[in-house]
Structure 1
Amino acid sequence: MCLRTATLTKTLRLSAISPPNGCEYEFGLIQKSLPATEFPESDTECLNLNITAPADVLHGPSALPVFVFIHGGGYSFGSNAWPQYDHARIVTLSQEIGIPVIGVGINYRLGPFGFLTSKGLQDHGYSANNGLKDQQVALIWIKKHIALFGGDPNRITCMGESAGAVSTMHQIQLGTGTPSFSQFVSLSGSPLMMRPLPSFVANDIYQTVTGILGLQHLSAAERVAALSAMPATELLMKLPPGLPFLPVLDERTIKKETNFAELASDTKTELPENINMLIGSCDMDASIFGIMFASKQTGCLKRFVALLNEFALQHTSEILRAYHITPEMNDSEAWPLILHFANDISFHAPASAYASAWKSTAYQYRFKEPNPWDGPWKGYATHVLDIAYLFLNYTEDMSKSQAKLAVEFATDVIHFINGKAPFQKVKQGSKFAKEYISEDGKTLSRDKQGNDTVWPELFSRAGYDAMSGVWAKFLSS
């Protein structure tokens, strides 16, 4: 654990074991790097907290509200030590505007160490979703002890981005009992975007892993023993990239999968009654799909049309027209348009579905600010760009209007953490309440394919879950 004031800048924090150069990879997504040193890793000392508080917090008149940030990275990489997640500037801003907060960054086990599971492992006492349980333990610890650092245990906001946002929503229903927080912020991620794996898929992944490691000839007990004895770095080095180590449906932690139809139903029995929500998405969050699944571009148009015919035949022509996709296009022309469809069904539609269904107070935003930095996605509101703006660690590389927007975004989130309305809440039948784009961003934007006037009605007729099925099968085909 590391306690830091908003003026302290140097700390040593061990990260969870993950593929090398993860931070550089995320800098590539943002298209701008920050000064960074080495990030030491450990498989036994990585579950630490990084607490950032105003310099005079222990001498203040009252306990401060707290936000707990869960990083993204597809459950494969990430660390609270990365400079883009430094909370010093947002904490300093909160103090300057008179509503100070405390920020906590957590780590959790990643990849196979956090999410490899199977019936054989569970039969031998190794439970599923250990990465999510690490997050849960961190949240419980924070609620129990944050008062010692000047925080209010009854005013905790859980905040996550991408896979971290998915995690915040899993934490609401993880296990039994009341969550350790009263609010949450979902930045570009939900269980509708990244659905938990069925148990049979997790078993197949386990069989793949044991085969790669040459353990398939061993008994179930011997496999478990061999995996437990293998050094973590060796295990990770032997596994190829791309294996889907993700949250898994099981009988103890994630018991069921959420879908659009359930959120649209009258019962919504799984939604909490007393947790406020701030949820949003970027106009080109699907840039992450374009990068991670670049190989899917080959033959993309033919596969996409075939899947539309499979899931919603009578709506295929209408969907293609809505996204300006024509049969005469080549794959390179069709790919960015297909990604717009992916963005709508994976990010925009889930945010709207949760905001509309939420039983407590809900706020929804849209991050439309285009990426200002050179790279293939310059001019688009890309995945992870919201983090670059929210935590204010890139303001020296922004224009005045861009830096002003970053402060505005951060200020709204600080208000929410303090239990104040950041902007107008979601009302029945409304869409997102606030858009974020700077004056320079309006000129820079290359995103001309927005379909907010089209996709809600179109997906409603074709079926939201059917449209989600199109994209899920596209990625797996």
Structure 2
Amino acid sequence: MLKRISAALALAGAAVMMSSCASSATPAGAGSRADCTTTTSLGVVAGTARAGLCAFRGIRYAEAPVGSLRFRPPRPVGRWRGTLQATDDKAVCPQDRDTMSEDYPDARTLFTDEDCLRLNVWTPGTDHRRRPVIVFVHGGAARFGTANEPRYDGAKLATRGDAVVVSINYRLGVLGWSELGGLDPSYKGSGNNGLRDQMTALRWVRDHIADFGGDPANVTAVGESAGAFSLSAMLATDHPERLFQRVILESGSGALVHSAAYERKVASALPVKSVAELRRMSTKQILGMQNKIIDQDEPGILGATYFAPYIDGTLVRDSVIKRVAQGNARAVDLLLGTNRDEMNFFGQLGPEAMTGIAQQYETVFFPQELAARRKRMVAAYRRGRSATAAALAMFSDQGMRVPATRLAQAQSRWRPTYLYEFGWRPTEEYGAVHTIELPFVFGSFRFTGILGGDKAFQADRARLTTLSDQMIDAWTSFTRTGDPNARRTVQRPTWPAYRAPQRATMMWNVDATVANDPRGRERALWDGYPFAAFDLPA
């Protein structure tokens, strides 16, 4: 059963030329929607027109990381000749199909194409109107997922928010997140290559998004789960404001960025003696090796935390919360939050799975540093809960909710910061699980990996559509101005900035409300624990 859970666990130069289809005699955006062609400093790109938007799919932002470039930092793409037909919506970085939690663009069971460093753009027009830009970094345990999942379709965000939406692929698993410097010093830092891919894509956006109608000086990076871990790690790099002006973190923060010690443990599990040996392996062989390592050494929910950015001291300088508290991201606006029952996601295979996840939390994940207060904490969480539900609530708080409050508090010293909790529960048994906010943020209403989601949505479609509209308005308002309250086309409460001691939190549900310090007594039980990085006892 735990193996099944593991398998299911699872974000050059400046543009210089005007759109080839716009003219001074044409209203802004009208001509560009006709043929969806634009000219960048890299070459001409042609997309497709759809529902009043231009969609560009599968634009390569970095060279294929194959051959001598495998396990190397990404190399930005160069110029091309002719017109690039940006119509490929099937790019998926190498992975085995995750049959439960991912919403793949086709029916393949195995994805092996390493030439996957591509991005998608949705825009109301290639007309140089300098719209706000949203760049989405997908989740999937840094092991699964793709920017081409239908649930991540950017059309509604682009239309409702008059924004340019970008989604990006990045290397996954061993290919993107294995530190090989111990095998060959010239590969030092390879454990953050997936992060470097994302940063390269963000630089591509900075340099070229103006030719797609976006404003390179107004970029918001949005990440979910592993995508949020990655973006939070960027907050601990030098000058994150050069990558984006704003960040939205959904269900992920710096607490799950790996420590250097944990990354060494991951590296030591590779059953090879040289990088050359790894480079000779086929993609399929690497995926098989990866699955074997995780199933044998890190069963159950540990598979969801096996790959991640890590604190290497060079790119990711130190603990995210520490760096943010020191003002490293003082020029970046921050909105973040979690779902009410995050860890129940990994128990959706049934009562046995729920019990198994709770037991693994109690035996593996609970911090040894808090052993002296464990009995008191368990007693507090048991009020009104079963033993299993209490363990899962503690796990959700430790892994997601409390670190988010810490990061919000750290950044609130420098910038207005906004915290949320998503609480809609399609079933009482599982609640508001990990990933449940995504169908609402994108307005796609695709409930992959959320048991009972489709049925519950159909039963309350009108109110849940309003909830989605409220969230999209808040997300795109924050994207445009740094304030989620600036645009409210659908009535919703004013969302105050997060500051201690009030700790105002937007509670997203069919009747959205604002609560001050929700479940504050449970949050306070974690006081003194640093949430510096992800590590486990030896």
Give ranges in structure 2 of 5+ residues lacking alignment.
1-44, 58-86, 299-305, 447-453, 485-494
Moved more, 39-48 or 383-392: 39-48
The corresponding residue for 2:134 is: 67
Closer, same or farther: CA 63–5 of 1 in aligned 2, 3 Å? farther
Match status 1:49 vs 2:125: no
The corresponding residue for 2:236 is: 173
The corresponding residue for 2:94 is: 18
Match status 1:429 vs 2:536: no
Which residue type is aligned with residue 352 of structure 1?
A: T
Match status 1:101 vs 2:186: no
- Aligned residue for 1:412, secondary structure, equals helix
Distance 2:473 2:363 in 1: 43
- Equivalences for 1:279-298 in 2 at 5 Å? 279-290=336-347, 297-298=355-356
Query: 1:134-164 CA distances to partner (integer Å, 9 max, x unpaired)?
Result: 0010001110110011110000001100110
Distance 1:237 1:302 in 2: 25
Q: 2:126 aligned to 41, 48, 58, which one?
A: 58
2:120–2:166 contact (8 Å) kept in structure 1: yes
The corresponding residue for 2:158 is: 91
The corresponding residue for 1:445 is: none
Distance 1:70 1:188 in 2: 12
The corresponding residue for 1:311 is: 369
Closer, same or farther: CA 103–58 of 1 in aligned 2, 3 Å? same
Q: 1:410 aligned to 449, 460, 472, which one?
A: 472
The corresponding residue for 1:389 is: 440
Give ranges in structure 1 of 5+ residues lacking alignment.
28-32, 95-99, 217-222, 443-449
- Equivalences for 1:44-443 in 2 at 5 Å? 44-54=114-124, 57-59=125-127, 62-94=129-161, 100-125=162-187, 127-128=189-190, 129-174=192-237, 178-192=241-255, 194-198=256-260, 200-210=261-271, 215-216=272-273, 223-240=274-291, 242=294, 244-258=306-320, 262=322, 268-290=325-347, 297-298=355-356, 304=362, 311-324=369-382, 333-358=386-411, 359-371=414-426, 377=430, 380-394=431-445, 397-398=457-458, 399-419=461-481, 421-422=483-484, 423-438=495-510
Distance 2:148 2:357 in 1: 40
2:183–2:275 contact (8 Å) kept in structure 1: yes
Distance 1:234 1:272 in 2: 40
The corresponding residue for 1:220 is: none
Root-mean-square deviation (CA, aligned residues, Å) is 3.6
The corresponding residue for 2:12 is: none
TM superposition shift of 1:286 = 1.6
Which residue type is aligned with residue 125 of structure 1?
A: Y
2:233–2:320 contact (8 Å) kept in structure 1: no
TM superposition shift of 1:274 = 1.3
TM superposition shift of 1:270 = 5.0
Distance 1:174 1:303 in 2: 31
TM superposition shift of 1:39 = 8.8
Distance 1:298 1:231 in 2: 34
Q: Which has the higher helix share?
A: 1
Report % sequence identity.
22
Distance 2:90 2:174 in 1: 18
Which residue type is aligned with residue 121 of structure 2?
A: I
TM superposition shift of 1:171 = 1.8
TM superposition shift of 1:226 = 1.7
Query: 1:81-104 CA distances to partner (integer Å, 9 max, x unpaired)?
Result: 11111111221222xxxxx10100
Count of matched residue pairs = 423
The corresponding residue for 2:73 is: none
- Aligned residue for 2:216, secondary structure, equals strand
Distance 1:70 1:82 in 2: 12
Closer, same or farther: CA 19–303 of 1 in aligned 2, 3 Å? closer
The corresponding residue for 2:84 is: none
Q: Which has the higher strand share?
A: 2
Scaled by the length of structure 1, the TM-score of the pair is: 0.78
Distance 2:357 2:444 in 1: 39
Distance 1:302 1:224 in 2: 33
Closer, same or farther: CA 295–457 of 1 in aligned 2, 3 Å? same
Query: 1:440-471 CA distances to partner (integer Å, 9 max, x unpaired)?
Result: x99xxxxxxx97132133222xx3338x99x9
Scaled by the length of structure 2, the TM-score of the pair is: 0.70
Closer, same or farther: CA 437–297 of 1 in aligned 2, 3 Å? same
Closer, same or farther: CA 34–168 of 1 in aligned 2, 3 Å? closer
2:93–2:169 contact (8 Å) kept in structure 1: no
Distance 1:173 1:144 in 2: 23
Closer, same or farther: CA 336–155 of 1 in aligned 2, 3 Å? same
Moved more, 337-346 or 124-133: 124-133
Distance 2:364 2:479 in 1: 45
TM superposition shift of 1:109 = 0.3
Query: 1:64-93 CA distances to partner (integer Å, 9 max, x unpaired)?
Result: 010100001111111011111111122122
